[in-house]
Amino acid sequence: MDESQFEHILSTWVLPVLRVSTPLIFAALGGMWCERSGIVQIGLEGFMLVGAFFGAVSTLYFSNPYLGFLIAGIAGVMLSLLFGLGVLKFRANQIVAATATNLFALGVTPFFSKIWYDSTGSTAPIPTESQFKVAPLYLMGLTVLISTILFHYSKFGLRLRFAGEHPKALESAGVSVLNKRWQGIMISGFLAGLAGGTLSIYLSSSFIRNMSSGRGFIALAAVILGKWKPIPTVLACLLFGITEAVQIRLQGVVLWGSEPVPVQWIQILPYLITIVVLAGAVGRSYAPKGLGQVE
């Protein structure tokens, strides 16, 4: 294979798959940490939206995507604290609280957008020179590495996992379950916020209303598909990324006969693959035992 061929494959297959998967991987790892601590996390979508919004706003303000990216994560943490307050302090139902979080994010972003940019649809465009080139891909790789190490080989990871698997055992060892769950929620807020930042600063040039487009839920599906473990979760995200990329390339392409494959058939690919993989290849996916239980 000569160099130009290599470059062609890189630019038409490898990079698109990585780009499409990056927000999913950030959000899914966040969701995994949170669920492992025992809290059901369907609020990723909301954290992503505030992350995307505040990431875009601060990148515009400081003309620095790295700072904007960090602020996207912090915005996610802020919203996750609100969610944590609901479920940990006031013992609200986790599904309801996360739904409220998602709705809040859906409403609050156009609200501020209207105040600052006089538009409920999108923020002002980020100039090309303050957009990311490839940095989020490296940061994503770093996050995967750190998550895996912490998850499997650290005291912190072990304790957080026990908060979700067997909270009483952790309690009897003298470790606060509540603390671990707060940490799980904040990690999910931070990483989902970064996922949002990826969408608005890296994959587009502004915040668009509801731009997460269900990616938070796909990320959650990846967590389940990946059996709540870091590397399989990342692989599940890549699988979704690959199907998305395949879907993009297959649209309007004639595979056999004279008519192109109908677009609807191609667009069910990610869902079809999820079902097939879940039902056949990976076997049953077990949730953490203490997930969603409040004692």
Partner 1 sequence: MSKIKNKCALFGMVGLLTSLLATPSWAELKVGLVLDSAGKDDKSFNSTAYDGMKRAEKELGIVAKTVEAPDPSSYETLQRAFADKKFDLIIAIGFLQLDAVKKNAARYPDQKFLLIDSDAQMPNVRSVMFEEQEGSYLVGALAAMHSKTGKIGFMGGMDVPLIRRFQLGYEAGAKKINPKIEILINYLGVTAEAWSNTPKAKELALAQYNRGADVIFVAAGNSGMGVFDAAEAQNKLAIGVDSNQDGIKPGHILTSMLKRGDEVVFDSIKLLKEGKLTPGLFRYGVKTKGVDYSVDSFNAKLVSADDRKKLEELRAGIISGKISVPDYYVIQKKK
Q: Could you list the residues that contact partner 1 (CB under 8 A)? A: 11-12, 16, 19-20, 23, 99, 102-103, 106-107, 110, 119-122, 125, 128, 199, 203-206, 208-211, 213-214, 217, 244-245, 248-249, 251-252, 263-264, 267
Q: Which helix (H) or strand (E) holds 7?
A: helix 3-9
Number of Cβ within 10 Å of residue 113's Cβ equals 23
CB of 8 to partner 1, least distance (A): 9
Task: Give residue 65's identity as a one-letter amino acid code.
Answer: P
Least gap, CB of 255 to partner 1 (angstroms): 15
Report the alpha-carbon distance of residue 148 to residue 70 in Å, rounded: 21
Q: What's the min distance (Å) between Cβ of 197 and partner 1?
A: 12
Least CB distance to partner 1 at residue 120 (A): 5
* Nearest residue (CB) to partner 1, 12 versus 154: 12
C-beta closer to partner 1: residue 106 or 278: 106
Q: Which is nearer to partner 1, 23 or 157 (CB)?
A: 23
Residue whose CB is less far from partner 1, 37 or 200: 200
Closer Cβ to partner 1, 162 or 202, answer by number? 202
- Which residue do the tokens 């890189």 mark? 10
User: For residues 24 and 160, which CB has a smaller minimum distance to partner 1 in the complex?
Assistant: 24
CB of 79 to partner 1, least distance (A): 16
Between CA 168 and CA 295 the distance in angstroms is: 10
Please, are residues 29 and 230 in contact by the beta-carbon 8 Å criterion? yes
Shortest distance, CB of residue 183 to partner 1, whole angstroms? 27
3-state secondary structure of 48: helix
Cα distances from 91 to residues 30, 67, 204, 233, 293, in angstroms, run: 21, 34, 38, 29, 10
- Gap between the Cα atoms of 35 and 41, Å rounded: 6
Maximum separation of any 2 CA atoms in the chain, in Å: 69
Overall size of the chain counted in residues = 295
**Are 57 and 207 spatial neighbours (Cβ–Cβ below 8 Å)?**
yes
